[in-house]
Amino acid sequence: MFKEYQQLRIPGPTPIAPEVQRAMERTILGHRSGEFSKIFAETIKKAKRIFQTEQDVLIVASSGTGALEMAVANVVEPGDKVLVVVTGVFGGRFAKIAKAYHAEVLTADFEFGTAADPNQIREILKQHPDIKAVFATHCETSTGVVNPIQELAHIVKETNAVFVVDSVSALVGMDLKFDEWGVDIAVTASHKALGLPPGLALIAVSQKAWRVIDENQGTRFYFDLRSYRDNAAKDTTPFTGPVSLVFGLSKSLDLIEEEGLEQGFKRHFLLRNMVRAAVTALGLELFVKNDRDASCTVTAIKGNDQLDPEKLRKVLREDYKIVAAGGQQHLKGQIFRIGHMGYTHPMDILTTISGLELALKQVGYPVELGAGVKAAQEVWANEKNLG
Amino acid sequence: MFKEYQQLRIPGPTPIAPEVQRAMERTILGHRSGEFSKIFAETIKKAKRIFQTEQDVLIVASSGTGALEMAVANVVEPGDKVLVVVTGVFGGRFAKIAKAYHAEVLTADFEFGTAADPNQIREILKQHPDIKAVFATHCETSTGVVNPIQELAHIVKETNAVFVVDSVSALVGMDLKFDEWGVDIAVTASHKALGLPPGLALIAVSQKAWRVIDENQGTRFYFDLRSYRDNAAKDTTPFTGPVSLVFGLSKSLDLIEEEGLEQGFKRHFLLRNMVRAAVTALGLELFVKNDRDASCTVTAIKGNDQLDPEKLRKVLREDYKIVAAGGQQHLKGQIFRIGHMGYTHPMDILTTISGLELALKQVGYPVELGAGVKAAQEVWANEKNLG
């Protein structure tokens, strides 16, 4: 009966709004048809608003990692010196991709669970004025850390380097003022806070970045941003575009517009605060201790001697129909993660917590049933001024 | 963003499983096509299993009330004496329909909120041996009462009367052994525990009933069961059948089979017990006091001087996305009702209760947040032997 019944509480893919699901079911169109071109052009116009930019936003058929590579491939030539801010697995992935493109990679490493320190980045940039690009992760999905992108952008802006931001699991869930902050490249993917299936990536590009990209002689073809820009000018894609995902994106952007970007940020902030309050009330330890460093889109929770996160996740999934994520790399078996982005209502968090409580009890962890739900309810009630 | 986001917790229509939704999206077929006839015949075969019968089960395009009328129209001729067991609005509806067919209608009325007393029915049948049919409601949707159908069937079986059961909001959620108990006509509708949109009704007919139906000279055309039986023998319907709903019914019956009827009854029993425990823990009063009389598919909860059910329902719906039902007729403004049938998981009840708690707080009712959730969790945990 309940084979497909589940709450998808991993940090992407995320639940899909019925309006978006139906939009994607629209009869497929040819990717070169005038009808699709019209939708494509309108969708790009709407997408600029979520990046808060007047500059170029391009659509590519790829996962989030493809979009990260797109950023690297267009900026980096072999031998270029770049700086990668590493606060977790996805910062590490930026470094890996840059190395695959034969860059000379400097990394600024921060302990997993804490955000990057802008002062350290400023220092490194001073010591290495020849750094061509700085890569940073907005929300580090592997730990639930949010990095201070505005401050980092401010620092990099004063140099010749371009500032590249992986906002895959952050955009729309947390603020990113592309133009105002002076970000040069920002990427996101469809299956995170945009609430679409995976397969579509968005990339915003500044004028400062285009100057580097246009001069870049490095190898690239599918991910060559110049061909996406040149084709976007003709309302089309260089290669076959992800037609149905564009239908869905168009609708998803409408829903986001309808809620309002600011209201959406507030909602994600509330979801985070509800999860953090509940988890704390249940006597569990948050992986990101400092509220300031805690992402509004994903929360990591520590296991301990009495709590095996992998056992807990299995019970959560099988008995309580809640799909949480585990830890990655050295955090595997150490933490579990709850995604709360995109088409996620505060009610969903109450459901998640009520299931988490029962799963904790089931794996033998001492828990007071209802205590986590109550804490989350109180956060919401306070926000609503219910007293 | 969340325009369509809701938990439909009224006693029908009910949530629809994604598998069923997709099944209904299958390309439409002609209702006289061989392809549809094959699906239709297989679906009827599967439908017999939910009535626990080897006798006839027929499909008609109508709402539940249409199916009630079908039962009346085929059994009652003008002037016939019938007995209607009335425990609420839907028992009353049976009486109304019988009157519309010019029957001489006796009613056995029981206080709303309590089940029918079989002894009284036995007495009336003794006093009126010329009663041609007894009409009873299995689950009285307006109050959440379940009537003792097995005992009533046993009593009516000893007479010449046919026993007609409205199992619209009960079948699949609670046991009905059509053959073993000796029910003569039982009807249900698609939008209750079967988890389909409204528009399809099912009617089971015994040999004893057919003898009455075949001799009945009363007026009827669309609802003439003889034409449904004769056409079912040729794997079709007399008039245009509800093709897409049959696709959905076929899948819904597969899901029910997969869970197992008995397991489904246990699940509905659990859902009821969770709701009743939670409501009591929150200091609210159940409309059906006796557990024995309480339906496993819908629960009615009383308002009071401090609690206006209509205000509560508005807040529940608007702020917490939970759609509950109000009271009907003289119970309007006195109670609210929570449906828990069909594609409803225990997790859904935890969600409902967590939202109910916040809504109670919001309308100013004194409530301890988390207390209802905890009570419902404990019922479930006990059932799972979590200690």
Residue that is last in its domain, among A218, A242, A258 = A258
The answer to whether residues B176 and B271 belong to one domain is: no
Q: Which residues of B touch A358 (CB under 8 A)?
A: 377, 380-381, 386
Q: Which residues of B touch A319 (CB under 8 A)?
A: 384
Contact in structure between B83 and B136 (CB atoms under 8 Å) = no
The answer to whether residues B236 and B295 belong to one domain is: no
| Beta-carbon-side half-sphere exposure of residue B383 (alpha carbons within 13 Å) | 19
Contacts with A96 (C-beta within 8 Å, 6 or more apart), sequence order: none
Structure tokens at A80: 């270029």
Residue A348 pLDDT greater than 80, yes or no: yes
Give the whole-angstrom CA distance, residue A315 versus residue A333.
15
Of B321, B370, B381, the CB nearest to A347: B321
**Assigned domain for A2 exists:** no
Structure tokens at A71: 């950023």
The answer to whether residues B265 and B248 belong to one domain is: no
The answer to whether residues A205 and A279 belong to one domain is: no
Contacts with A17 (C-beta within 8 Å, 6 or more apart), sequence order: A195, A251, A252, A255, A343, B1, B4, B5
Cis, peptide link before residue B129, omega less than 30° from 0: no
**Assigned domain for A116 exists:** yes
Share of residues in chain B with pLDDT > 90 (%)? 99
Share of residues in chain B with pLDDT > 70 (%)? 100
Structure tokens at B93: 């509806």
Which amino acid makes up residue B287? F
Give the whole-angstrom CA distance, residue B190 versus residue B12.
9
The answer to whether residues A169 and A274 belong to one domain is: no
Mean pLDDT of B313-318: 98
Q: Which residues of B touch A380 (CB under 8 A)?
A: 358
Residue A134 pLDDT greater than 80, yes or no: yes
List, for residues A160-190, the tens digit of each pLDDT value: 999 999 999 999 999 999 999 999 999 999 9
State yes or no: B337 annotated in a binding site.
yes
The answer to whether residues A368 and A219 belong to one domain is: no
Of B19, B259, B347, the CB nearest to A321: B347
Closest to B189 in 3D by CA, of B174, B209, B167? B167
Residue that is last in its domain, among B226, B258, B290 = B258
- Judge: B1–A384 Cβ closer than 8 Å, yes or no: no
Mean pLDDT of B253-257: 98
Question: What integer pLDDT is reported at residue A361 of this predicted model?
Answer: 98
Judge whether A323 is closer than 8 Å to chain B, CB to CB: no
> What ipTM did this prediction achieve?
0.94
Structural domain count, chain B? 2
**Assigned domain for B350 exists:** yes
The answer to whether residues A251 and A312 belong to one domain is: no
Residue that is last in its domain, among A258, A288, A314 = A258
Band the pLDDT of A36: cuts 50, 70, 90. Answer: very high
Q: What CATH number is associated with residue A47?
A: 3.40.640.10
Give the whole-angstrom CA distance, residue B157 versus residue B151.
10
The answer to whether residues A198 and A282 belong to one domain is: no
Question: What integer pLDDT is reported at residue B228 of this predicted model?
Answer: 98
- Judge: B380–A371 Cβ closer than 8 Å, yes or no: no
Contact in structure between B141 and B11 (CB atoms under 8 Å) = yes
Alpha helix (H) ranges present in chain B? 18-24, 34-51, 64-75, 89-100, 118-127, 149-157, 178-181, 207-215, 225-232, 243-259, 261-281, 309-320, 346-362, 371-383
Judge whether A321 is closer than 8 Å to chain B, CB to CB: yes
- Helix, strand, or coil (residue B135): strand
Q: What CATH number is associated with residue A334?
A: 3.90.1150.10
Beta bridge partners of B137: B166
- Judge: B354–A355 Cβ closer than 8 Å, yes or no: no
Min Cα separation B186/chain A (Å): 24
**Which secondary structure element, helix H or strand E, spans residue A176, and what is its range?**
none
List, for residues B97-109, the tens digit of each pLDDT value: 999 999 999 999 9
Q: Which residues of B touch A384 (CB under 8 A)?
A: 319, 362
The answer to whether residues A143 and A75 belong to one domain is: yes
Domain that holds residue B289: 7-13+260-383
What sign has the CA pseudo-torsion B243, B248, B251, B255?
A: negative
The pairing of strands A56-60 and A285-286 is: unpaired
Q: Which residues of A touch B1 (CB under 8 A)?
A: 17, 255-256, 258-259, 264, 343
**Assigned domain for B192 exists:** yes
Question: What integer pLDDT is reported at residue A161 of this predicted model?
Answer: 98
Whats the size of chain B, residue-wise?
387
Residue A387 pLDDT greater than 90, yes or no: no
Q: What angle separates helix B346-362 from helix A371-383, to the nearest 10 degrees?
A: 40
Residue of A nearest to B373 (CA): A370
Which amino acid makes up residue B99? K
Of B345, B354, B377, the CB nearest to A377: B354
Mean pLDDT of B280-300: 98
List, for residues A217-264, the tens digit of each pLDDT value: 999 999 999 999 999 999 999 999 999 999 999 999 999 999 999 999
**Assigned domain for A185 exists:** yes
List, for residues A45-102, the tens digit of each pLDDT value: 999 999 999 999 999 999 999 999 999 999 999 999 999 999 999 999 999 999 999 9
Contact in structure between B87 and B110 (CB atoms under 8 Å) = yes
Residue of B nearest to A4 (CA): B18
Band the pLDDT of B90: cuts 50, 70, 90. Answer: very high
Residue A29 pLDDT greater than 90, yes or no: yes
- Judge: B357–A370 Cβ closer than 8 Å, yes or no: no
- Judge: B384–A362 Cβ closer than 8 Å, yes or no: yes
Min Cα separation A73/chain B (Å): 36
